[in-house]
């Protein structure tokens, strides 16, 4: 049987404990997992794609998850998945509010490439309210994000907003 390769794509601006929860669940199922950071200039991310990749690597390193790769991509997701030989796309589902967008994306991706299947995973309950946007908002106002992100990410956020907010966080 062909090796099952899964891609977990996202903006990861920045990676949160919710993302990590999904990654930990996915590595238990798939022999190879690629965390794929979308450049996503349209979303005007707070962190550069290089910073986002670095924060993921720093956050995951202590967890020793093994068969896991982290890289950025800037093409169509299904094209990227095809190039990597991946037949599964992992997405996280937090609440009903995620559903409409995720449903639309999954069906569009299926239309673009029938061989790639989207699989949804739910995080542990405490992370169902957590998003990168919320984390940035709390950090912007000087709040404590230590329980929502890993120490390297908290440090980066302090560096970004530490001298007092200059630019408002983007959605
Ligand atoms: P995107 O711009 O692709 O939505 P995100 O980084 O916001 O990028 O999210 C990537 C994936 O991770 C999405 O499927 C999203 O639903 C999921 N996700 C984000 N935050 C959480 C969380 N707290 N728990 C579970 N899944 C999450």
What is the residue-level pLDDT of the chain in tens, covering all 171 positions? 567 899 999 999 999 999 999 999 999 999 999 999 999 888 899 999 999 999 999 999 999 998 899 999 999 999 999 999 999 999 999 988 889 999 999 999 999 999 999 999 999 999 999 999 999 999 999 999 999 999 999 999 999 997 554 556 666
- Catalytic-labelled residue, pool 25, 32, 94, 155: 94
pLDDT at position 169: 65
Ligand 1 centre to CA of 94 (Å) is: 8
pLDDT of residue 95: 83
> What is the predicted pLDDT for the residue at 76?
95
Distance 131 CA to ligand 1 centre (A): 7
What pLDDT sits at residue 168? 62
59 is catalytic: no
**Could you identify the atom of ligand 1 that is nearest to the CA of residue 98?**
16
**Cβ–ligand 1 contact at 17 (below 6 Å):** no
What is the pLDDT at residue 171?
Answer: 65
What pLDDT sits at residue 1? Answer: 52
DSSP, residue by residue, 8-57: EEE--TT--HHHHHHHHHHHHH-SEEEEEEE--GGG--SS-HHHHHHHHH
Full set of structural domains in the chain with CATH: 5-125 (3.40.50.620)
> For residue 2, what pLDDT is reported?
66
Separation of 102 CA from ligand 1 center, angstroms?
10
Q: Tell me the pTM.
A: 0.93
> For this structure, is 19 an active site residue?
yes
Beta bridge pairs of residue 81: none
Q: Judge contact between 3 and 32, C-beta under 8 A.
A: yes
Annotated active-site residue 132? The verdict is yes
**Order of strands, edge to edge, in the sheet holding 117-121?**
68-73, 32-38, 5-10, 88-92, 117-121
């Amino acid at each position: 049987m062909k090796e099952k390769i899964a891609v977990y794509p996202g903006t990861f601006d920045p990676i949160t404990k919710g993302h990590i929860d999904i990654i930990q669940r996915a590595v238990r199922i798939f022999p190879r997992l690629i965390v794929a950071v979308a450049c996503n200039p349209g979303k005007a991310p707070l962190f550069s794609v290089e910073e986002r990749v670095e924060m993921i690597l720093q956050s995951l390193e202590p967890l020793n998850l093994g068969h896991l790769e982290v890289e950025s991509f800037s093409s169509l997701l299904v094209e990227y998945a095809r190039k990597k030989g991946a037949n599964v796309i992992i997405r996280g589902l937090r609440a009903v509010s995620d559903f409409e967008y995720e449903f639309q994306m999954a069906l569009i991706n299926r239309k673009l490439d029938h061989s790639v299947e989207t699989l949804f995973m739910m995080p542990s309950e405490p992370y169902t309210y957590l998003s990168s946007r919320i984390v940035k908002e709390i950090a912007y106002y000087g709040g404590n994000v230590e329980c929502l992100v890993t120490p390297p990410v908290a440090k980066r956020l302090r560096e970004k907003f530490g001298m007092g907010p200059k630019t408002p966080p983007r959605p």
